[in-house]
Structure 1
Amino acid sequence: MYTAQLGWSLTMRNRTREPYPFLLFLLLITVFLIKFATSQIQNDLERGSSLSVEDDSDIITSPDGSFSCGFHNVGANAYWFSIWFTSSTDRTVVWTANRDRPVNGKGSKLLLRQTGILVLTDVDGTVVWESNTTSTEARRAELLDKGNLVLKDIHGTILWESFAHPTDTLLPNQAFTQRNKLIAAIRKESFATGYYSFYFDNNNVMRLFYDGPEISSTYWPNLALDIYLNPRTNYNSSIVAILDDAGRFVASDQFQFSASDVGFGVKRRLTMDYDGNLRLYSLNSSSGSWSVSWAALPQPCNVHGICGRNGICTYTPEPKCSCPPGYEARDPSDWNQGCKPTFNRTCSDSEVKFVEVLHTDYYGFDLNNSNGAISMEACRDLCLGDCRCEAFSYRLTGGGLCYAKRALFNGVQTPTFPGSIFLKLPLSVEASETRVLLGSNAICESSPRTVPFHLPPMDYTGIKRVRWVYLYSFASAIGVIEAFVFASGWWFLFRQNGMPFMVEDGYGVISSQFRRFTYAELKKATKNFKVELGRGGSGVVYKGVLADERVVAVKRLSDMFQGEQEFWAEVSMIGKINHMNLVRMWGFCSEGRDRLLVYEYVEKSSLDKHLFTSNFLGWKERFNVALRTAKGLAYLHHECLEWIIHCDVKPENVLLDCEFEPKIADFGLAKLSQRGGPDIEFTRIRGTKGYMAPEWALNLPITAKVDVYSFGVVILEMVKGIRLSNWAVEDAEQQEAELTRFVRIVKRKIKCGEDSWVEDVIDPRLDGKFSRSQAATMVEIGLSCVEEDRSKRPTMDSVVQLLLECETESEIRIPKSEQAS
C-alpha cells in the first residue's frame, strides 16, 4: 500500500509539473519572436555597416515609423537610395541621393565607412554618391522622425544631414536658405533632374525658374509687377524660409502662405513638381493618399516652357498642350520638345500670310513693341519688315498694342486674354478656321467661324457705304503721296549728299539675320586667320572681312567648348541678345571640333589699352565707361531672358568703339562651356586672377555676385589708373595683393575723416581734372563691390542707379597751377 501511495504521489507530482516547462517554452518563443520582429526595424546604421540593394528588408526607419530610407526601385534594374513616407500608398519619395545616377539591382550597397563618410556604390564598387569628401568622427547614420537622415558622432552631434541638400521636396521644419534649391524631376515617375527650380535669387527673393533646352526664364512671382507690388522685399538680413508643422510657410522676403487644412497633426510636404508648379501636399492618414492644400500657380498654363517651343497651353478644363496652325508636335509623349513647323520660312512679303489664333499670346522674345496704340495693319507691317519675326501679338486694351515676336515660347490660350497672336505662315499652309491677313496688302479673308474686327456696329447700306469708300480712297491716296515723298527724301538725302554709306551699311547690319557660317567662309574672311587681335583662356581672336564687307572679329574657341547640339542651342540664344553696351554676335561656326564665334569689330580695342598706358582716358570718358559697363552687366543679370553671368569681367573684356562707348565682350562663354541656372555651380574655375571673387576659391555656389566683385576691381582701377590685380611688395618677405592694400588704405582714410582722401587715391596723371563727387561715388561703389561677403555686395542694377544719380555732376576740378595762371 505504501508503494502504491508513493507511486500515486509521484505521478500526481509529475502531472502538476508538466505545465511549467510548456509555459517556459511559450515564453522563450514569444521573446524570440519579439526580438526577431524588433531586429527588422532598424533605426540607424553603425560605422562599418551597410545596406544591400538585394535585401528588401535592409531599410532604416525613423523611431516613430513616419519615414523610411533604403533602395527604391522604379523601372527595370534601376535603384535609388531614397527617403520616403512610410504610410503613403505610393511610397512618396522626399529625398534622393543619386537622382541622376541609378545603381544596379545586384551588388550595390550603402556603406558607412570607417572614415565617417556615407557612400553609395554600384555593382562594380564605383562610388556613385557620398555624403562628404573629408573624414569625420561620424559613428552612425540615423533617420530622424522629421525625415532627416543625419550622421552623428559619439556625442550625438550632427555632422551631416540630408536636410541641407534637398532635391525636389521641403519637409516641415527643414530650413530653406540661399544655398538650397528645389529642382523638379524631369517627368512623372522619374527622379532625374528636370528644368524647373525654386530658390532665392540674387535679390534675395523667392522665384520659380525654368531652365529648358532652349530658353531660361523666371515665371513666378508675377513678372508684370516689381518686387514690392508682388508684394516682396529684398531688404532682409537673414535669407531663410521654413514650413512649420501646422502648414504655415514663412520666408524672409515676406512671402507667406498657409495650407487650406492648416493645423497640427497632418503630415505635409512642399514639392517642386515636374510640371513646374510648386505645391503643398497633405497626407490622408487613413487612405495614404495626398491632396493639394496650396499651389503657387492656380493657372498651370502660366508655367514657362510647359508646352515647349511653338506649343500652346489651353484649359480643357485641365491644362493641355497643342500646336498652332502650320505646326505639329515633335513628340506627343514629351511636350518639352514642343512643336515644329511643317513649312520652310520665307522672307518674301508676297509669299506669306498671317493666321490669327484667338485669345492667345506668347510671353517674351519681343523684337519691339508699339509703345502706344497702332492699327493691326501697322503691326503686321512691323513683322513683315523684319525677317526674324515669326508672329505678332495684337491686343485691344483701350487701344491696339503690338508686339512682334522673334521666337514663340510660353504660349497660352485663355478666353480672358483681350487679343490674338498672328502667325507668319507661307500662303501654301492651310488654315481655314481662322482669320487670315495677307502679307502684301490689307485684304482680309474670313471663314464662317472668324471673329470680326473690334469696330463699332455700322450700317453699310445706301449712301453711307459710298461715303466710307470715299474716305478709304482718300486715305489711300494720302498714304501713297507720303510714301512717295519719304522715298524721294531718302534718295535725295542718302544718294545725293554722298555721306550716308555708313548709315546704309549700318542698316544692312541691323537687318541681317544671325546665322551659321561655314568654316571655309571664316577662313577666307580672316585670310587664313592671319591678323590676330588678341588671345585669352577661351581662345584667339582674329580680324576678318565678310563677303558683305562687314569688318568682324572671329574668335576661335579652345577645345573646352564641345557638343554640337548644345553649342548650337546656346549660341543661337546668346546671338539674339542685343544691348548697346554688349558686343553684338553676328553668327557662329560649328564643324567637327572647330567652334568659332563671329562678333562685330570694335575699333578702339580694349579698356586696358586706354587705362594702363600713356594713351589714357580723361575723367569724363572713364565715368562714362563705368556707367555704360554697369548698364551692360545689369542687362545680363536682370533684364536678359537668359540671366547670363559673365564670370570674367576685366578691362580686357571691355571694348571701346570709335566714340569710346564701352561694349562688354565674351559674355555667355561661361554658359557655353557649362549650362546651369542662376545659381550655377561650376566645376571649372573661370576668370582671371586678381578679378576673381573669393567664392571661386571657397567652392561656394557661383552667382551674379562674382561679376559684381570683378566690376568693383575694374572701377577702382579706373579711378586709380593702375592694375590693382597685381601683387604689392610690403617688405623683403611679405606680399599682399595691390587691391587688398588699396582697400585697406582707403577705408582707413575715410574712417579717419581725411578731407583729401579722394585726391590721394585718384590717378595723378589726370592732373586734378576730375569730378570729386563722381570719383567719391565710384570709389564707394568699388569698395562695396569687392566685399568678401557676397551678401554685402550690391546688385548691378543698384550700381547703375548710384552712378546715374551723379552723372550730371560733371564739374571738372582745375589744378591750382592752372587757376593761378
Structure 2
Amino acid sequence: MMRETFLLFLLFCSLIESSASKNTIKDHLQRGSSLSVDDSSDVIRSPDNTYTCGFYGFQSNAYWFAIWFTNSKERTAVWTANRNTPVNGRGSKMTFRRNGAMVLTDVDGMVVWETNTTSTDVDRAVLLNTGNLVLQNQKGQILWQSFDYPTDTLLPSQTLTKRKSLISALRRGSFEPGYFVLSYNSINVLILTYDSPETTVLYWPSPDPGFNVWSYGRTSYNSSRIAFFDDFGVFRSSDRWQFNASDMGFGIRRRLTMDYDGNLRIYSLNDSTGLWSISWQAIAQPCNVLGICGRNGICDNGVLQSECSCPPHHQQTNPTDVSQGCTPTFNTTCSNSTKFGFLEMPNTDYYGFDLNSIDAFLPTSFDACKDMCLRNCRCIAFSYRLTGEGLCFIKNALFNGFRSPNFPGSIYLKVPVDMETSESVSVLTSSNATCVEVVTVMLGSPSMYEPSETKVKWVYLYSFAIAIGVAEAFVMLLGWWLFYRKNALLTSLEEGYRMVSSQFRGFTYQELVKATQNFKVEIGRGGSGTVYKGILEDERVVAVKRLGDVSEGGEFWAEVSTIGKINHMNLVRMWGFCSHKRYKLLVYEYVENLSLAHRLFSTTFLQWKERFKVAVGIAKGLAYLHHECLEWVIHCDVKPENILLDESFEAKIADFGLAKLTQRGGQNSEFTRIRGTKGYMAPEWASNLPITAKVDVYSYGVVVLEMARGIRLSNIVVQEGEEEETELMRFLRVAKTKLQGEEMESWIEEIIDSRLGGLFSMKQAAKLVEIGVSCVEEDRNKRPTMDSVVHDLIDCESE
C-alpha cells in the first residue's frame, strides 16, 4: 500500500513538473534561440511580469514583434519592431542569431527587421521591468535597447531626445505610422505637428510657427533637447515644459502616448480591471488638432462630440478613414468656359494656405475680397470676417477646417455657377480671369424690386416685414428643435453637408432588391453563394453576391470594410455590402467578359497573347493580396471560375477575402474546414498543415498550366493496367524530365493547346510551364512567392 502511494506521488510530481516546464515563460533569450509566431506562449516576460515581448496579432494574418502591458485588458502595445511591415501568422520567427543580431524573418525567410549588433559581444536579450528590451554582454552592459527606437509611446524612465520622436498610429487599432508627431524643432522646443504627404503644420503649443516661446513658459536657449517621464507621473523637458498626471504618485503604471487623433495623453492603468484612464492630455478641444479631418474636411464641435464632415458638393475620400479628408465632386480647373460663384459656409474657417498672406490683415471690403478670389485661378475659396474692419484671406488649399458658432466669419467656397443654391442672395460668376459679372437671385416676386415713379406701395412693405418676422420665428423654433435632436439635424443638412461616397458603402436590402429586380438574373453560383446582376440608382451595373454561412454582426462589418479598402486593377472592386437580418450580401463591380473558365474551356477560347496577359494579371493580383495589403488576404479558392475578364481581357480576381467571412472561428483561429475546389487545392489542406499564402501559389500553378494546355487538369485519366491519376499528375511526371532535357522545345510545342495552331511565343510558353510546375510542388517551401512569379513573367511579357 505504501509502495503504491509512493508511486502515485512520484507520478503526480512528474506531471506537475512536466506541466510547469511546458508553460515556463522565458525571462531572456540566448544566442541561437528564437521566438515563433506559431506558439502564443513563446514570449519573454519582464521579471515583475509588467511587460511581455513576443508576436502580437490583432488582424487575421498580420503579426508584429512587440512589447505590451501584460495585465492590460486590450494587451496595449508600447513598442513594435516591424511597425511598417507585419509578418505572416504562420512560420515567422524572431531569431537571436549566433552572430549577435536579433533578426525577424517572414514565413518565406525574408528578413523584415534586425538589430545592428553583429560586430559586438552581445550575449543575451532581456526585457527589463521598465519595458525596455535590451541586448547585453556578459558583463551586463547594454549594447542595444528598444528605448532608443520609440514608436508612439514613451514609458517612465525612457528619454525623448533630439534624434527621437513619437509618431502616432494611422488609425485606431493600427500600428502603421500616422501623421501626428511629438518632437523637438530646430529652436529646441518640444512641439506637436501634423506631417502628411501633402502638408506639414505645427499645431501645438501654437499654430503659429513663429510663436513667442516665452509666452508659453518655454525657453529655446537650452540646446540639450531631452525630455523625461518619471515613475511619479511628472514629465520634464529641457525647454522648461513640465506637466503632471492627475494621479501623481508611485505604484501606478503609466504611459505617454501620441494618439492617432493627434492628441498627446498620459494613460494610467487600473490593475483590477486592466483598463486605462486619461490622467492628462495636451489639447482639450479636439478641433485644435490641425489636419485631423484631412484635406477639405471640417472639424465640428457638436453637441455630443467632435466630428468630421465635408463641405457642400464634396464626398469622403475614404468612408472608413475620415483623416483622408474630402474630394470635390466638381471640376476645380479654371478655364474661360467655366463660370464660378460662391457658397457660404457660416462660422467656418480653414487655417493657413493664404494666397494674400502679406496683406491679409489690411482692411478689405467683401466685394473686393470676392474679386480677388475670382481673378486668381489658384483661389478655391476665401475667408471673410468682420472684427471691426473686414479681413480677407483667399485660399489655394483647404486644410485644417473647423466650424464654431463663436467664429465671426465665413468661408465662401468657389464652385461652378450651376451648383449655386437658391439661398444665395448674390452670386458672383467669372468667365475668365479679368471679367467679373454679377448675377442677382431674387427672393419673392419681381414686382417687389421694381421702382415706383409715383409712390411706394406700402402694402408690399408691410407684407414683406410680416413675412420676415414669421420666417425669423420659424427659424428660431426650428433651431431649438434641431439643437436637441441631433438626428434631425443630420437629416436637414443632408443635401449640403452629409458625407456621401460613391465608393465602398452600406446598402439597404430594399436597394439591392430593386437593383436586381428581386434577384431575377442569376449570373453565377458557387460554394460561397449566388451572384445576381443588378443596376444601381446611379446606373452602375453591379454583381450582387448573396452569401451563405457567414460571420454575424460587427465581425461581418469589420471584415467587409477591410475587403472594401483593398483596391487593385487585377482585383474585382467591391462597392459595398448589406447586412439585413439573416441576409448578407456583397456588391461588386460587374465584369463584362465572363470568367476565364468560359474563355478557356469553350469554343470562344483565348488566343496566346490574351492568355499570357491574364497569367500576368492573376499573378499581380495575388502578389498584392499576399505582400502589399496591411492585413494579408489568402484567397483559398483560386480557379478559372474566380478569374473574371474585363472588356480588354484584363484579369480580375473575384471572391478574395471570402475565406475570412465563411471560415473564421476566432481572431487567431485556423480555418475550421477545407475551403477550395478539388483539383486546385494544395496538398496541405488534406495534410492538416497550417494554411499559408502558398496554397494560392499552388492553385495559381494549376490555373496557368491549364491555360497552357487548354484542358482541365483535374480530369481523371485511366490507362490500361494503371491506377487512376489526374491529368495534372500525369503531366507533372513527364514535365520534370522534359524541362531539363534538350528536347524541351519540341515537347513544349506538343503540349501547348493545339487550338492555337502553333501561334504562341515559345519563350513565354516555356516560362509559363516552368512557373506552373514550380508552383505545384508538393513541398510548399519549394514553391515560389507570387512576387517572384510576377518578376519572372514581366521579363517575358514583351516577347
TM range (shorter): 0.5 to 0.7
Q: Which one-letter code corresponds to 1:243 in the other structure?
A: F
Kept in 2, the 8 Å contact 1:352–1:438? The answer is no
Structure 2 partner of 1:410: none
The separation in 1 between residues aligned to 2:121 and 2:695, in whole angstroms, is: 43
Q: Which one-letter code corresponds to 2:673 in the other structure?
A: R
The separation in 2 between residues aligned to 1:479 and 1:787, in whole angstroms, is: 72
Of all paired residues, the percent bearing the same amino acid is 46
Change (3 A) 1:256 1:364: farther
The separation in 2 between residues aligned to 1:261 and 1:189, in whole angstroms, is: 36
Structure with higher Rg: it is 1
Partner secondary structure for residue 208 of structure 1: coil
Deviations 1:390-440 (A, max 9, x none): x9999xxxxxxxxxxxxxxxxxxxxxxxxxx975645348899xx998754
Structure 1 residue 745: deviation in Å? 1.1
The answer on 1:249 being equivalent to 2:102 is yes
Query: Which among 209, 218, 225 is matched to residue 85 of structure 2?
Result: 218
The separation in 2 between residues aligned to 1:352 and 1:750, in whole angstroms, is: 55
Change (3 A) 1:773 1:334: farther
The separation in 2 between residues aligned to 1:790 and 1:272, in whole angstroms, is: 41
The separation in 1 between residues aligned to 2:528 and 2:584, in whole angstroms, is: 11
Structure 2 partner of 1:167: 41
The answer on 1:514 being equivalent to 2:504 is yes
Structure 2 partner of 1:557: 547
Structure 1 partner of 2:634: 645
Change (3 A) 1:167 1:716: same
Kept in 1, the 8 Å contact 2:636–2:695? The answer is yes
The separation in 2 between residues aligned to 1:800 and 1:272, in whole angstroms, is: 47
Structure 2 partner of 1:573: 562
Structure 1 partner of 2:728: 739
Instruction: Give the alignment's TM-score, normalised by structure 1.
Output: 0.52
Deviations 1:250-299 (A, max 9, x none): 577576536799657x764369999xxx933669999xx99973468345
Structure 2 partner of 1:137: none
Change (3 A) 1:332 1:533: same
Partner secondary structure for residue 83 of structure 1: coil
Change (3 A) 1:689 1:565: same
Change (3 A) 1:329 1:191: closer
Kept in 2, the 8 Å contact 1:746–1:761? The answer is no
Matches within 5 A, 1:21-60: 49=13
Kept in 2, the 8 Å contact 1:307–1:321? The answer is no
Kept in 1, the 8 Å contact 2:180–2:262? The answer is no
Matches within 5 A, 1:576-587: 576-587=565-576
Higher relative contact order (CA 8 A, sep 6+): 2
Matches within 5 A, 1:739-818: 739-754=728-743, 755-809=745-799
Structure 2 partner of 1:348: 311
Structure 1 partner of 2:71: 189
The separation in 2 between residues aligned to 1:545 and 1:785, in whole angstroms, is: 39
Structure 1 residue 524: deviation in Å? 1.9
Structure 2 partner of 1:293: 145
Structure 1 residue 609: deviation in Å? 0.8
The separation in 2 between residues aligned to 1:195 and 1:285, in whole angstroms, is: 30
Partner secondary structure for residue 695 of structure 2: helix
Partner secondary structure for residue 555 of structure 1: strand
The separation in 2 between residues aligned to 1:241 and 1:332, in whole angstroms, is: 30
Kept in 2, the 8 Å contact 1:607–1:652? The answer is yes
Partner secondary structure for residue 682 of structure 1: coil
Change (3 A) 1:258 1:767: closer
Alignment coverage as a number of residue pairs: 521
Structure 1 residue 69: deviation in Å? 5.6
Structure 1 residue 187: deviation in Å? 4.0
Structure 1 residue 657: deviation in Å? 1.9
The separation in 1 between residues aligned to 2:629 and 2:309, in whole angstroms, is: 28
Change (3 A) 1:246 1:351: closer
Structure 1 residue 577: deviation in Å? 2.1
Deviations 1:153-196 (A, max 9, x none): xxxxxxxx99983635369xx999xx997765764425977789
The answer on 1:706 being equivalent to 2:695 is yes
The separation in 2 between residues aligned to 1:697 and 1:273, in whole angstroms, is: 46
Structure 1 residue 311: deviation in Å? 8.8
Change (3 A) 1:690 1:323: closer
Kept in 2, the 8 Å contact 1:353–1:425? The answer is no
Change (3 A) 1:50 1:714: same
Q: Which one-letter code corresponds to 1:553 in the other structure?
A: A
Structure 2 partner of 1:665: 654
Q: Which one-letter code corresponds to 2:71 in the other structure?
A: E
Partner secondary structure for residue 599 of structure 1: strand
Structure 1 partner of 2:247: none
Change (3 A) 1:344 1:525: farther
Q: Which one-letter code corresponds to 1:167 in the other structure?
A: S
Instruction: Give the alignment's TM-score, normalised by structure 2.
Output: 0.53
Structure 1 residue 479: deviation in Å? 12
Structure 2 partner of 1:208: 82
Structure 2 partner of 1:314: 182
The separation in 2 between residues aligned to 1:744 and 1:367, in whole angstroms, is: 57
The separation in 1 between residues aligned to 2:630 and 2:323, in whole angstroms, is: 8
Structure 1 residue 767: deviation in Å? 1.5
Q: Which one-letter code corresponds to 1:513 in the other structure?
A: Q
The answer on 1:632 being equivalent to 2:608 is no
Deviations 1:517-575 (A, max 9, x none): 1111112222222221111111111111222222211101112x112212112212321
Partner secondary structure for residue 717 of structure 1: helix
Kept in 2, the 8 Å contact 1:727–1:736? The answer is yes
Q: Which one-letter code corresponds to 1:632 in the other structure?
A: G
Change (3 A) 1:741 1:244: closer
Structure 1 residue 759: deviation in Å? 0.7
Query: Which runs of 5 or more residues in structure 2 are unaligned?
Result: 1-8, 46-52, 56-60, 153-165, 184-189, 191-226, 230-255, 268-274, 280-285, 287-291, 294-298, 300-304, 328-332, 335-339, 344-349, 354-396, 416-429, 438-499
Partner secondary structure for residue 739 of structure 2: helix
Structure 1 residue 743: deviation in Å? 1.5
The separation in 1 between residues aligned to 2:659 and 2:583, in whole angstroms, is: 18
Deviations 1:614-639 (A, max 9, x none): 22111111111111222222222233
